[in-house]
Amino acid sequence: MSARAELVKNEKNASVELILSEDWLLENGASDNDQNIFDLFEKNDFKQIKLDGKQIGRWDSRLVAFLVHVISLCKKNNIEYRLIDFPKGIDPLLDLAFSVPEHVSPPKGDTTQSFLSYLGNVALYSWAATQRVALFCVKIYEALIRLITKKAVVRKVDIWFEIQDAGVNAFLIVSLICFLVGLILAFVGSIQLKMFGAQIYVSSLVAIAVTRVMGAIMGGVIMAGRTGASYAATLGSMQVNEEIDALKTMGVSPFDFLVLPRVLALSLMMPLLTVYADFMGIMGGAFVGIFMLGLSPEDYFRMTLKALFMKNILIGIVHGTAYGIIIAVCGCYQGINCGRNASAVGKATTAAVVYSIVWMTVATAILTFIFSVIGV
Amino acid sequence: MPEAFLEIKEMTVAYGDNVIMKDVSFTVNKEDVFIIMGGSGCGKSTLLSVLTGLKQPAKGTEIFDGKVFWGNGATKDDRDALMRKAGILYQSGALWSSMTLAENIALPLEQYTKLSKPEIRDLVALKLDLVGLGGFQDYYPAEISGGMKKRAGLARALALDPKIVFFDEPSAGLDPISSKNLDDLILQIKDNLHTTIVMVTHELASIFAIGTNSIFLDAQTKTVIAKGNPTDLLKNPPNKTLEHFLTRGEK
C-alpha cells in the first residue's frame, strides 16, 4: 500500500494530529495529497501538532524526507510539533539531517536587464573577446619567433606527429568528400549545359570552381570538423587534467609546446590538402563527364587543362593556407581557454568548429574582395 | 550468526592472458564495513569493478544478496536489477558536471521510482542534508570543493536507499580532517540506514577507524593473503607483507 498522510483536526480541544499510515517506500507510487498537507502548514491556523507514526508499515528514506519537510515547515511557521510512536531508527536520521544548518547561497543579484544594457554587454564582451584572440595570436607569433631563434621548448616528434595527423591521415576523408563534391558540381552543371549541347564545358566549370575556391572550402570544412575539433578536445582535456598547469609551472610555454606544433602543422598541410582536394574534385567531375555524359577522357582532360590557370590554383592555395591558420587558431584557442569539467570540453569543441567555419566564411569574403580589387 | 550479503567464491580476474588475481574468496556480512586493502597495483580497483558488474571475472562466482551476480548463467539484466540495491562512490565523486547537485541525485530517483517531482525534491534535500550539504541543491560540481564533491557523490550513491555502498578510495585527495569527517559520515550512514559498506582503500587511519572486516590483496602472489578485522590483523599479523603494510613499513 502506498504512503498515506491524514491531517485530523479535533475541534473540541483545538488539537491537530498528522496521522501517517501504510508503507512509506521509494518503490511505491507518488502520493497525491502531500502538497495539500504542506499548504495547511503555511496557512498557520494551528500552533501545535502531533505527528503520529503508530500505523506506519514498512519505511525507508521516503518517510524521513516527508518528516524533514514537515518539521522544516513547523520550524518556519513556529508550530510546536511532537513525534509519537515512530519506528525505531527515525530519530537518528532526523538528527543527522538537521545536524548541519542549511547553507544559504548569497543573493545572485538582479539578472534582468534592459535591451540597451544587453546590447552594451554584448558589445563589451565582443571587444574583450577580440582582444583575447588578438593576444592569443600575438603569443603564437612570439612562439614562432622563439622557434626560429631555437629558444622554443618544443619536441620535433610532436611537430611531425601533428603534420602526419593533419596531412596523410586526412587523405581518405578529403578524397571521398572532394570527389563527391566534384561529382555533384559536374552533375548539376551538366543539366544546364546539356540544354545548349555544351556538356564539354562541364570540365571547365568543375576545374575553375574547384581550383579557385571549392577545393579549399571543402578541405577547410573537413579539417574544421576533423582536426580543429580534435585540437579543442585534446587541449581542453589537458586543461581539465591540469596538464597545461603542469607545463606552465615547469616554465614551459603551452604556446611553444602545444599550440605552435598544431598551428604549424595545419598551416603547412592545408595548402597541400587544397591541391589534393582540387585533384579529387576534378576526378569527381571526370567521373560524371566520362561515364554519364559520354565524353571521351581525352576531350575531358584537354578541356580541363585549358581551364586550369595557375592564378586560380594559387588563389585556392591562399584560401587553404588562411583556412588552415584559422582552424588551428580557433581549435587551440578554445582548447586552451576551456573550463575544467567534461561539459566545458564539449562546449569548447563545438565552439572551435562553429568559429572556424564562421571565420572561414569571413576570410573568403575578405580574400574575394582583395582579389577582385587587385584584378585576379 | 551474521548474515552474508556478498559472497565471492574462487574468483579469478584477468585482462586477456594477464591474470590480475586468482582464487579470491571472501564473504561480506550485512552491516559490515568491509575493507579491500593492498598496495598500489594489486588490483583493488579492478576487484571493485568486478563486484559492481563493470568487469567480468575470468572465473568464479559472486552471490549478491542471495542471488547469483556472476556465474551460473546470470545475465546482464540480472546484474542491472541487483545493482539497483547498490550505490557506488567513485574516487573523485564522478558527479555529472553538466547537472546541478540536485539533478545528479534526482536522476536515479526519476529513473527508478514513480515519485512525484515535489517528493523527489524532498528526497534530494534529505540526501544532501544527510551528508551535510543542505542548501547546495543548485550548485554545479565545478562550484564546490573536492571534499564536498565526495559527499555529494555519497548523497547520489544513497539516492535509492541502497543495501550496500561501494567506496573507491574515499579518502584520496582529502585533508585529514575532511577524511575523518567522511569516515564518521560513513559510520553514521551505516548505523542509521543499516547499509553494508565495501571500501577499497589503503588509508591506514580509515582502515582501523571504521573497518570491521577486511581482505588483503597481495600483488606478488596475486591473491588474498589475509582476512579479518583490521585491528586484530595489526595485533596478530599472519604474514610479514601484511605487517609491513599495516605498520607503514616500520616493522
User: What is the ipTM metric for this complex?
Assistant: 0.81
Q: Do B113 and A26 touch (CB under 8 A)?
A: yes
Kindly list the residues of chain A whose beta carbon comes within 8 Å of any beta carbon in chain B: 26-31, 34-35, 60-62, 64-66, 68-69, 89, 92-93, 96-105, 339-344
Cβ contacts (< 8 Å) between B139 and chain A: which residues? 105
Largest Cα–Cα separation, chain A = 109
Of A341, A32, A26, residue with least CA distance to B108: A26
Q: Identify the helix (H) or strand (E) that includes residue A150.
A: none
Each residue's pLDDT tens digit in chain B (251 positions)?
788 999 999 999 998 888 999 999 999 999 999 999 988 888 888 899 999 998 999 999 999 999 999 988 888 888 988 988 999 998 888 888 888 999 999 998 998 888 999 999 999 999 999 888 999 999 999 889 888 998 899 999 999 999 999 999 888 877 888 788 888 888 888 888 889 999 998 888 889 999 999 999 998 888 999 999 999 999 988 888 888 888 887 77
Task: Judge whether A113 lies within some domain.
Answer: no
Give the pLDDT score at A89: 82
- Which residues fall within 8 angstroms of residue A123, CB to CB, at 6 or more apart? none
Interface test with B, best of A24, A93, A349 (most B CBs within 10 A): A93
Q: pLDDT averaged over chain A?
A: 91
Of B56, B69, B52, residue with least CA distance to B166: B52
Residues A139-166 have a mean pLDDT of: 93
Task: Judge whether A313 lies within some domain.
Answer: yes
B1: cell is 550468526
My answer on whether A157 and A39 are in the same domain is no
- Report the chain B residue with the minimal C-alpha distance to residue A90: B192
- In angstroms, what CA-CA distances link B13 with A156, B54, B76, B77, B227? 41, 12, 18, 21, 19
Task: Judge whether A110 lies within some domain.
Answer: no
My answer on whether A250 and A332 are in the same domain is yes
Q: Do A26 and B116 touch (CB under 8 A)?
A: no
DSSP chain B: -PPEEEEEEEEEEEETTEEEEEEEEEEEETT-EEEEEE-TTSSHHHHHHHHTTSS--SEEEEEETTEEEESTT--HHHHHHHHTTEEEE-TT----TTS-HHHHHHHHHHHH----HHHHHHHHHHHHHHTT-TT-TT--GGGS-HHHHHHHHHHHHTTT--SEEEEESTTTT--HHHHHHHHHHHHHHHHHHT-EEEEE---HHHHHHH-SEEEEEETTTTEEEEES-HHHHHHS-SSHHHHHHHTTT--
Distance from CA of A102 to the nearest CA of B (A): 5
Q: Where are the alpha helices (DSSP H) in chain A?
A: 34-43, 61-76, 90-97, 115-148, 156-166, 171-194, 202-209, 215-223, 229-240, 243-249, 254, 260-291, 297-307, 310-336, 342-373
Inform me whether the pLDDT recorded for A119 exceeds 90.
Answer: yes
My answer on whether A308 and A213 are in the same domain is yes
Cβ contacts (< 8 Å) between B98 and chain A: which residues? 341-343
Contact B37, B201 (CB under 8 A): yes
Task: Judge whether A105 lies within some domain.
Answer: no
Interface test with A, best of B123, B145, B185, B195 (most A CBs within 10 A): B123
Q: What is the span of the domain harbouring residue A69?
A: 4-97
- As a whole number of angstroms, the distance between CA B114 and CA B102 comes to 17
Task: Judge whether A290 lies within some domain.
Answer: yes
Number of A to B CB contacts under 8 A, please give it: 91
Please tell me the total count of domains within chain A: 2
Cβ contacts (< 8 Å) between B194 and chain A: which residues? 89
Between B113, B118, B126, which is nearest A64 by CB?
B126
Give the pLDDT score at B155: 92
Q: Do A26 and B160 touch (CB under 8 A)?
A: yes
Interface test with B, best of A33, A62, A94 (most B CBs within 10 A): A62
Contact A18, A52 (CB under 8 A): yes
Interface test with B, best of A41, A61, A108, A340 (most B CBs within 10 A): A61
- In angstroms, what CA-CA distances link B144 with A8, A98, B152, B208? 43, 21, 10, 29
Higher pLDDT, residue A100 or A261: A261
> Which residues, in sequence order, are bridge partners of residue B164?
B86, B196
Interface test with A, best of B96, B101, B122 (most A CBs within 10 A): B122
- Report the chain B residue with the minimal C-alpha distance to residue A99: B132
- As a whole number of angstroms, the distance between CA A253 and CA A135 comes to 15
Q: Do A26 and B127 touch (CB under 8 A)?
A: no
- Residue A110's pLDDT band, with cuts at 50, 70 and 90, is low
Contact A218, A316 (CB under 8 A): no
- Give the CATH number, domain containing residue B33: 3.40.50.300
Task: Judge whether A109 lies within some domain.
Answer: no
Of B202, B153, B224, residue with least CA distance to B45: B202
- As a whole number of angstroms, the distance between CA A82 and CA A80 comes to 7
My answer on whether A69 and A132 are in the same domain is no
Give the pLDDT score at B146: 85
> Residues B242, B247, B251, CA angle at the centre, nearest 5°?
85
Task: Judge whether B25 lies within some domain.
Answer: yes
SS3 assignment, position A15: strand
Inform me whether the pLDDT recorded for A325 exceeds 90.
Answer: yes
Distance from CA of A49 to the nearest CA of B (A): 20
Residues A341-351 have a mean pLDDT of: 92
Cβ contacts (< 8 Å) between B97 and chain A: which residues? 341-344
Inform me whether the pLDDT recorded for A111 exceeds 80.
Answer: no
Cβ contacts (< 8 Å) between A89 and chain B: which residues? 192, 194
Distance from CA of B92 to the nearest CA of A (A): 12
Kindly list the residues of chain B whose beta carbon comes within 8 Å of any beta carbon in chain A: 96-98, 109, 113-116, 118-119, 122-123, 125-127, 129-130, 132-136, 138-142, 158, 160-161, 188, 191-194
Query: Looking at residue A214, what DSSP letter applies?
Result: I
Residues A147-154 have a mean pLDDT of: 91
Cα atoms in the Cβ-side hemisphere of radius 13 Å centred on B11: 26
Give the pLDDT score at B195: 92
**Which residue type sits at A162?**
E
- As a whole number of angstroms, the distance between CA A358 and CA A356 comes to 6
Between B118, B126, B136, which is nearest A35 by CB?
B118
Cβ contacts (< 8 Å) between A93 and chain B: which residues? 130, 192-193
My answer on whether A236 and A136 are in the same domain is yes
A285: cell is 567531375
Task: Judge whether B164 lies within some domain.
Answer: no
Give the pLDDT score at A14: 66
For A4-62, what is each residue's pLDDT tens digit? 888 888 776 667 889 998 889 888 877 777 778 888 888 777 888 899 999 998 888 89
Cβ contacts (< 8 Å) between A338 and chain B: which residues? none
Residues A313-329 have a mean pLDDT of: 96
Between B109, B118, B130, which is nearest A97 by CB?
B130
Q: Where are the alpha helices (DSSP H) in A149-170?
A: 156-166
Inform me whether the pLDDT recorded for A124 exceeds 60.
Answer: yes
Q: What is the span of the domain harbouring residue B42?
A: 1-85+207-251
- As a whole number of angstroms, the distance between CA A11 and CA A13 comes to 6
Between B98, B122, B139, which is nearest A69 by CB?
B122
My answer on whether A70 and A208 are in the same domain is no
Between B115, B140, B194, which is nearest A30 by CB?
B115
Backbone angles phi, psi at A167, to 5 degrees: -105, -90
- Report the chain B residue with the minimal C-alpha distance to residue A64: B126
The backbone region for B72, taken as left when phi is positive above 0, alpha when psi lies in -120 to 50, beta otherwise, is left
Pairing of strands B4-15, B18-29: antiparallel
Q: Do B142 and A341 touch (CB under 8 A)?
A: yes
Distance from CA of A62 to the nearest CA of B (A): 7
Inform me whether the pLDDT recorded for A1 exceeds 60.
Answer: no
- In angstroms, what CA-CA distances link A161 with A147, A156, A235? 17, 9, 15
Give the pLDDT score at A13: 64
**Which residue type sits at A146?**
R
Cβ contacts (< 8 Å) between B114 and chain A: which residues? 28-30
Q: How many residues does chain B have?
A: 251
- Give the CATH number, domain containing residue A39: 3.30.750.24
Please tell me the total count of domains within chain B: 1
Contact B36, B199 (CB under 8 A): yes
Task: Judge whether B33 lies within some domain.
Answer: yes
SS3 assignment, position A22: strand
Give Cα A126 distance to the centre of its chain. 19
